[in-house]
């Protein structure tokens, strides 16, 4: 069974750094893209970026380029999302999701449970 287990909720102050994680199991971690998706309070889903753990190829949405860093550690089957300097506007639920494909079309087949990040002074 495919599972993506994310790290726990975080409460931070503006200007803090943060790295959250997403551990995959039940499949070959290096064979599938992992995506990060943001959901701000009461809002919809926004794709942030993806990483291919096999070679760490990474693509970002223009809205998030330069704002976050996506990485992966193949040795522990874990993807990360990190911020160098958080803002209050980063307060949101963050989901990781595995990209699956069907006839060349990619979709988010499995999701983590989400990590709630709260940023407040």
Partner 1 sequence: QSVLTQPPSVSGAPGQRVTISCTGSNSNIGAGYDVHWYQQLPGTAPKLLIYASNNRPSGVPDRFSGSKSGTSASLAITGLQAEDEGDYYCQSYDISLSVFYVFGTGTRVTVL
As measured in angstroms, the least distance from the Cβ of 32 to partner 1 is 14
Between 29 and 95, name the residue whose CB sits nearer to partner 1. 95
Closest CA to 5 of 115, 82, 100: 115
Q: How many CA atoms lie within 13 A of 33 on its CB side?
A: 17
3-state secondary structure of 31: helix
Between 27 and 47, name the residue whose CB sits nearer to partner 1. 47
As measured in angstroms, the least distance from the Cβ of 44 to partner 1 is 4
Nearest-Å Rg of the Cα atoms of the chain is 14
CA angle 53, 67, 20 (to 5 degrees): 50
As measured in angstroms, the least distance from the Cβ of 111 to partner 1 is 5
As measured in angstroms, the least distance from the Cβ of 19 to partner 1 is 20
How far apart (Å, rounded) are the C-alpha atoms in residues 3 and 79? 13
Between 74 and 106, name the residue whose CB sits nearer to partner 1. 106
Per CB under 8 A, residues contacting partner 1 are 35, 37, 44-47, 50, 59, 61-63, 95, 97, 100, 102-103, 105-114
- Cα–Cα separations (whole angstroms), residue 114 to 15, 21, 92, 93: 22, 10, 10, 6
Between 16 and 111, name the residue whose CB sits nearer to partner 1. 111
């Amino acid at each position: 069974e495919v599972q993506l287990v994310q790290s726990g909720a975080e409460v931070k102050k503006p200007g803090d750094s943060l790295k959250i994680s997403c551990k995959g199991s039940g499949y070959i971690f290096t064979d599938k893209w992992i995506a990060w998706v943001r959901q701000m309070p009461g809002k919809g889903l926004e794709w942030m970026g993806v990483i291919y753990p096999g070679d760490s190829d990474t693509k970002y949405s223009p809205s998030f380029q330069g704002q976050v860093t996506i990485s992966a550690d193949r040795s522990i089957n874990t993807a990360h999302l990190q911020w160098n300097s958080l803002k209050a506007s980063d307060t949101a639920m963050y989901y990781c999701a595995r990209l699956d494909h069907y006839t060349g079309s990619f979709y988010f087949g499995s999701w983590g449970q989400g990590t709630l990040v709260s940023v407040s002074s």
